[in-house]
Amino acid sequence: MTAQKNLASSIEDPINNVFTSEQKIAALRDMLRIRRFEQQSFKLYQQEKIGGFLHLYVGQESVAVAAVGLMSGADEMITAYRDHGHALAVGMSMEECMAELFGKATGCSKGKGGSMHFFAPDKHYWGGHGIVAGQVPLGLGLAFALKYKKIPGCALCFLGDGAVNQGVFSESLNLASLWDLPLVFIIENNGYSMGTSLERSSSIEGSLAERAVGFKMEREKINGNNFYELRAKLHNVMERARHQCKPSLLEITTYRYYGHSIADANHKKYRSAEEIHEYQKNHDPIMLWEEQLLKEGVITPSTMESLDQAAKEEVAAAILFAEASPWPEPASIFSDIYSEVDVGSDAAKRGTYFFSDTRL
Amino acid sequence: MPLIDYKTALNQAFAEELTRDETVFLMGEEVAEYDGAYKVTKGLWERFGSRRIIDTPISEAAFLGLGVGAAMMGLRPIIELMFWSFAYVGFDQIINNAGCIRYMSGGLINVPMVIRGPANGGTSVGATHSHTPENFLANTPGLKVVAPATPYDAKGLMISSIRDNDTVCFMENTLLYGHRGEVPEGSYTIPLGVADLKREGTDVSFIAYGRALLTALEAAQTLQAEHGISVEVVDLRSLRPLDEEAILNSVSKTHRVLLIDENKPFCGISAQIAAIIAEKAFDQLDAPVLRVTALDAPAIYSAPLEKLQLPNTQRIIAKALTLF
Ligand SMILES: Cc1ncc(C[n+]2csc(CCOP(=O)(O)OP(=O)(O)O)c2C)c(N)n1
Ligand SMILES: [Mg+2]
């Protein structure tokens, strides 16, 4: 009930006043698409169609969808390895994402990146990064480039609650604030870094967002299951970044339902089944949003059902596409390494670039 | 042609590219108001201002990563490391991000960045400040590595590196910064992947790069004068891409080869070149492939011993004589 009350509390915020019924339904659709994609990926992993690590976004869908919904054509974003939700939210197709998980040539990275490394620069999406906090200074660079080019956009840099303890995160907070970069750091606090709870990983004063204090940076803690609150507060800091070139640090509380990665055999050890259940029952962002839209009369149960059905069908088609797609050619091992070599420019005409036999 | 020193040659390259291309900016510790720890960027801040020439706090990982992010967005950062030894605190950004993002994105992204600074021992600053990580960098497909020995090569290769659409790791040397040589005033480029024959000879090939090239040339003179041995000296200039053809041509001509570099021997640059010669020119060899590298220990502080540790003419001459 408290969550419901909160949900209503930001509804009158200006950015939510201009949130049309179609957009509200689109947000639900995008969250459902992510959830269904992830749930099917889980099954495919168990069937060994997908290898390596697979970090699912189930439970956190509202964060990426709300943030992407506020992006203008001039904004940029980057995240860590739990990147499928952000990818689908920015408009990458389920086909290219699923094919990448399968390691197929039709994947978004031609089968060269895998689950943790999705990219779509044409959609202002700069990945997809496997090293914890490795993407954070790249986010600085995106913001730096916007300011350098005098583009009135902002960069969104997502990271996990575990990533805040990497040195480069603190370095980046300092630089962003020191140089007034149009950057929003978004900590998606899902409570755990692998099997380590926030309590066991981080010494904090109240909120992870308080780490901004020593750097003279604006900060905010947001309930990630409250779509209206997410929009209202994200919009404010994005506007501040765009128009005043001021960075912010956000902690968004959220939760992941699955293990850290599918390969996380321990995930019942470090948290209880009750904890997961409680979240699913009372705080699930999709459920809360559906309830809200029903209450507003924006949606009917049958529209909800058809959105969900469409999402499932879209995933099913993406799986067929991935299955039917070819494996990458062996020769492709040696492309996409040096851009000058790929385009065959004059700069690449001389010298040896690869030190093994490239004729496969 | 004007005689200028190595650091001035680099400085000219920066100034020309900063003038020519608005997307070029230069960033690092003390590069702006202080004129650079070694004065390589002298006067650039006054001329180009704080937007283009940017002093950073001591946060290598963050500003290397910033460079990658800005390069993805189409800018051309020149990131100065006060010493390449300091790259190790930002290695993740160089190897994982600059080196691998193009591949992991299936070619959607390129990272047109130059990372540069001195990478040398020989200055009595101890092991932490004397590293030569060119082998680690060249071990990463996705990165390019150049190591010019002369002011002329430094300027031409720097201009090419700034214009290159991939990340180039530019290895300089504090002991070379003051070396003078003839350098044209205007803009010119030297392609990556092209070695330069710095001395022609018939009896033995010396393959070197960076400061070791100068040591090799000195040793070559002595060998000619005192032993009547005609040495050919190949300056690699660029390590990845590598001019294999120049190496193999020289070996086929002289049939004897000595590899000389200031890198460590284990999996060092010379180890790779030895492997290439063994694979591709075995039948040409009249003697084993030998190497003169830095002695295989952390860089020592004590000056006279440090001199021993790096390749010097005596070690080169002694080793070369064993080839005959
Ligand atoms: C530098 C580095 N160290 C360790 C890992 C292994 N690892 C991957 S994810 C992870 C936990 C990170 O948790 P968090 O930042 O909270 O993100 P979440 O997985 O919850 O989204 C760890 C330890 C890594 N990928 N990179
Ligand atoms: Mg976490």
For the stretch A177-209, pLDDT in tens is 999 999 999 999 999 999 999 999 999 999 999
Write the CATH number for B254. 3.40.50.920
How many CB atoms within 10 Å of residue A317?
13
State the pLDDT at residue A3.
Answer: 47
Spatial CA neighbour of B36 closest among B16, B55, B61: B55
- Which CATH topology does A2-328 take? Rossmann fold (3.40.50)
Q: Over 80: is that where the pLDDT of A264 sits?
A: no
Query: Is this structure's pTM higher than 0.90?
Result: yes
Q: Which of B59, B101, B163 is opposite residue A171, by nearest beta carbon?
A: B59
Residues 6+ apart with CB under 8 A from B30: B36, B37, B55, B82
Distance, CA A113 to ligand 2 centroid (Å)? Answer: 22
Q: What is the distance in angstroms between the Cα of A134 and the nearest Cα belonging to chain B?
A: 7
Which of A118, A340, A343 to mutate: most B Cβ within 10 Å? Answer: A340
Beta bridge partners of B231: B204
* Tokens describing residue B321: 């004589």
Same domain, B138 and B224: no
| Amino acid A267: pLDDT | 66
Cα(A158)–Cα(A172) distance, integer angstroms: 13
Ligand 1 centre to CA of A162 (Å) is 6
Closest CA to B77 of B32, B121, B27, B125: B27
Distance (Å) from the C-alpha of residue A208 to the closest C-alpha of chain B?
20
Choose the final residue of a domain: B182, B205, B238. B182
List all residues 6 or more positions away from B3 whose beta carbon is below 8 Å from its beta carbon. Answer: B180, B181, B182, B183
Q: Which of B27, B29, B66, B68 to probe by mutation at the A interface, max A CB count within 10 Å?
A: B66
* Total tally of structural domains belonging to chain B: 2
More confident residue, B228 or A262: B228
B235 domain-assigned: yes
CB contact under 8 A, A108 and B106: yes
pLDDT computed for residue A266 by the predictor: 67
Q: Determine the pLDDT at residue A1.
A: 37
What pLDDT does A360 receive? 77
Query: Among the atoms of ligand 1, which is closest to the Cα of residue A160?
Result: 15
- Given a cut of 70, whether residue A248 has pLDDT beyond it is yes
Q: Are residues B11 and B160 in the same domain?
A: yes
Identify which of A260, A261, A262 to mutate to test ligand 1's pocket (most ligand atoms within 8 A of the CB). A260
Domain end, chosen from B182, B212, B238, is at B182
| Cα–Cα distance for residue pair A284/A261, rounded to 1 Å | 20
Please tell me the distance in Å from A301's CA to the nearest CA on chain B: 40
CA distance A259 to chain B (A): 25
Is A162 near ligand 1, meaning CB less than 6 Å away?
A: yes
Q: Where in chain A is the domain with CATH 3.40.50.970?
A: 2-328
Ligand of minimum distance to the alpha carbon of A63: 1
pLDDT tens-digit series, residues A300-339: 999 999 999 999 999 999 999 999 999 999 999 999 999 9
Element of type H or E holding B92: helix B91-92
Query: Which is nearest to B263 in space by CA: B165, B150, B128, B130?
Result: B130
* pLDDT of B271 higher than 50: yes
Please determine, for residue A6, whether its predicted confidence score (pLDDT) is greater than 60.
no
pLDDT attached to residue A11: 87
CB contact under 8 A, B242 and A146: no
Q: Report the distance separating Cα A118 and Cα A109, nearest Å.
A: 7
Whether residue B207 lies inside any domain: the answer is yes
Residue B242 lies in a domain: yes
CB pairs under 8 A between A and B: 187
Residue B191 lies in a domain: no
Instruction: Give percent of chain A with pLDDT exceeding 70.
Output: 97
- Claim to verify: residue B234 and residue B147 sit in the same structural domain: no
Q: Decide if B227 is catalytic.
A: no
Q: Report whether A229 contacts A259 (CB < 8 A).
A: no
The answer to whether residues B175 and B267 belong to one domain is no
Tell me if B212 is assigned to some domain. yes
Atom of ligand 1 nearest to the CA of A189: 16
One domain for residues B151 and B254: no
Ligand 2 is an ion; its neighbours by CB within 5 Å are A 160-161, 190, 193
Could you tell which of A185, A192, A194 is best to mutate to test the pocket of ligand 1, judged by most ligand atoms within 8 Å of the CB?
A194
A159 Cα nearest atom in ligand 1: 15
Tell me if residue B179 is catalytic.
no
Work out the burial of residue B85: count CB atoms within 10 Å of its CB; fewer than 13 is exposed, 13-18 middle, 19 or more buried. buried
Tell if the CB–CB gap between B102 and A136 is shorter than 8 Å: no
- Considering the domain boundaries, does residue B187 fall inside one? no
Chain A residues closer than 8 Å to B48 by CB = none
B153 and B16, same domain (yes or no) = yes
**Distance separating alpha carbons of residues B208 and B211, to the nearest angstrom:** 8
pLDDT of residue B48: 98
Segment B88-111 mean pLDDT: 98
Encode pLDDT of A134-159 as tens digits. Answer: 999 999 999 999 999 999 999 999 99
pLDDT of residue A10: 85
The verdict on B175 and B231 lying in the same domain is no
Pairing of strands B238-240, B144-146: antiparallel
Angle of the A136-148 helix axis to the A167-178 helix axis, nearest 10: 20
**Residue A170 clears pLDDT 70, i.e. is over it:** yes
A43 Cα–ligand 2 center, Å: 22
Predicted pLDDT of residue A2? 45
Could you tell me if the ipTM is greater than 0.90?
A: yes
Are B59 and A174 within 8 A, CB to CB? yes
Domain that holds residue B293: 196-321
Is the CB of residue B61 less than 8 Å away from at least one CB of chain A?
yes
Helix (H) or strand (E) holding A244: helix A227-244
Amino acid letter, A147: K
**Based on the domain organization, do B116 and B24 belong to the same domain?**
yes
Region A243-266 average pLDDT: 91
Q: How confident is the prediction for chain B on average, in pLDDT?
A: 98
For chain A, give the percent of residues with pLDDT over 90. Answer: 91
B233 located within any domain: yes
Structural domain includes residue B201:
yes
The Cα B106–Cα A335 span in angstroms is 8
- Say yes or no: B119 and B235 in one domain: no
